[in-house]
């Protein structure tokens, strides 16, 4: 089933002049992503090799080494900015939105991988970046992360490095506040409580302000800790519209913690789970995205849209973060939840095809390309 995206074109054309008014604030991670291909077998030097096509193929090689040993070569294809926050912030900034970013981008100097990012985004770095080796396959990716620096991200650090007054000003001017990568940031709960108890009460009330959360695979966390952060996320509803974005695995984990039936990868099943998650947390919107479609639920209903699949992606690491950017942008612009979903999957689709984020004005051309390629 194909999704018709044509309804977005006039809305995008109308929205372009107002992008500069939609200030965004994101945080708090920051990684240097080393994008790699793991080598299955090599025929010669340089690029004369065959990469493991799937995670299962790679996993079988690892299993076969049990009780023995193995060496698996990885070929570095590129180094780039990484982490949920920087990738999403970069996508929003690329569309012409004013963006501030708080995170781990280098200290005392910004890491070279973030030099271009820092020209596009107003950066506030509090620590050095993490390093992630992303092993890419045709059916997903394995992320091997060194994240000790994330322990430095806490409310105390932000108070010391930036100051309460400065952070309050950044939140005050923002239409979208994204608090991302709770799983890897061990002290992020302290930041959430700081926002709830000190920052947001000092801001002018804005019921339309969006708060976007992405937990980032909480499987390594205990159910008790996950339950606590879900409660905190729900509390943000006192200060604006709260959106919880999840991939399919994260949706299942949140469902288990909330005591509801885990969804299948069927759109109707996922929509039902998202409706219940949204209701139990008392938030504006729950959004979930398996690899081939995205769905969301608000108090007004639930929707799902099929993404523009490509069999030959240039990159997959960061696809979900671009979906989050497009979806959040759609909501900021006043699109319906369904149309915001469409914009989200198009942002992701553009990125995996090109290897870089789109400007909003690039999306109508992508829609026309998709229309001409459909049978």
Query: CA Rg, the chain, in Å?
Result: 20
pTM score, whole prediction: 0.89
Helix, strand, coil share (%) of the chain residues, nearest 5: 45, 25, 30
Domains by residue range for the chain, with CATH: 8-32+82-131+148-373 (3.40.1190.20)
Beta strands 130-137 and 31-42, pairing class: parallel
pLDDT band at 289 (very low <50, low <70, confident <90, very high): very high
Give how far Cα 237 sits from Cα of 46, 125, 278, 344, Å.
53, 28, 11, 23
Q: Confirm if 284 and 313 have CB atoms less than 8 A apart.
A: no
Give me the percent of the chain exceeding a pLDDT of 70. Answer: 99
Identify whether 28 is preceded by a cis peptide bond (ω within 30 of 0). Answer: yes
Q: Is the pLDDT of residue 275 over 80?
A: yes
Q: What is the pLDDT of residue 312?
A: 86
SS (H, E, C) 224-244: HHHHHHHHHHHHHHHCCEEEE
pLDDT at 1: 54
Residue 207, helix vs strand vs coil: coil
DSSP state of 134: E
263-291: average pLDDT: 96
Which percentage of the chain shows pLDDT scores above 90? 87
Q: Tell whether the model's pLDDT for residue 308 goes beyond 70.
A: yes
What pLDDT does residue 206 have? 95
Res 374 pLDDT > 70? no
């Amino acid at each position: 089933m194909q999704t018709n995206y044509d309804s977005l074109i006039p809305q995008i054309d109308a929205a372009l002049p107002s992008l500069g008014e939609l200030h965004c604030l994101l945080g708090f991670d920051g990684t240097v992503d080393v994008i790699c291909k793991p080598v299955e077998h090599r025929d010669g030097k340089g690029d004369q090799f065959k990469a493991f096509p799937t995670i299962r193929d790679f996993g079988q090689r690892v299993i076969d080494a049990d009780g023995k040993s193995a060496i698996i070569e990885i070929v570095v294809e590129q180094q780039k900015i990484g982490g949920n926050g920087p990738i999403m912030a970069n996508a929003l900034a690329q569309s012409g939105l004013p963006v501030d970013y708080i995170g781990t981008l280098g200290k005392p100097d910004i890491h070279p991988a973030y030099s271009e990012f820092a020209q596009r985004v107003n950066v506030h770095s509090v620590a050095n970046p993490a390093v992630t080796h992303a092993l890419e396959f045709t059916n997903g990716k394995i992320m091997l992360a060194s994240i000790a620096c994330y322990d430095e991200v806490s409310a105390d650090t932000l108070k010391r490095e930036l100051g309460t007054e400065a952070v309050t000003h950044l939140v005050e001017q923002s239409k979208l506040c994204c608090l991302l990568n709770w799983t890897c940031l061990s002290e992020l709960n302290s930041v959430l409580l700081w926002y709830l108890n000190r920052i947001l009460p000092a801001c002018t009330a804005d019921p339309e302000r969006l708060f976007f959360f992405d937990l980032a695979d909480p499987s390594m966390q205990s159910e008790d800790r996950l339950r606590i952060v879900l409660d905190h996320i729900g509390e943000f509803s006192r200060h604006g519209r709260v959106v919880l974005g999840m991939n399919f695995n994260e949706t299942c984990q949140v469902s288990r913690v909330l005591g509801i039936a885990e969804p299948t990868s069927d759109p109707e099943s996922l929509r039902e789970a998202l409706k219940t998650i949204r209701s139990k947390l008392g938030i504006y919107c729950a959004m979930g995205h398996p690899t081939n479609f995205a769905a969301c639920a608000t108090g007004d209903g639930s929707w799902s849209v099929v993404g523009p699949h490509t069999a030959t992606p240039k990159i997959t690491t960061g696809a979900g973060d671009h979906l989050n950017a497009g979806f959040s942008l759609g909501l900021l612009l006043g699109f319906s939840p369904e149309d915001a979903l469409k914009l989200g999957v198009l942002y992701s689709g553009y990125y995996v095809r090109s290897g870089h984020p789109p400007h909003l004005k690039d999306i109508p051309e992508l829609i026309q390309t998709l229309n001409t390629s459909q049978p």
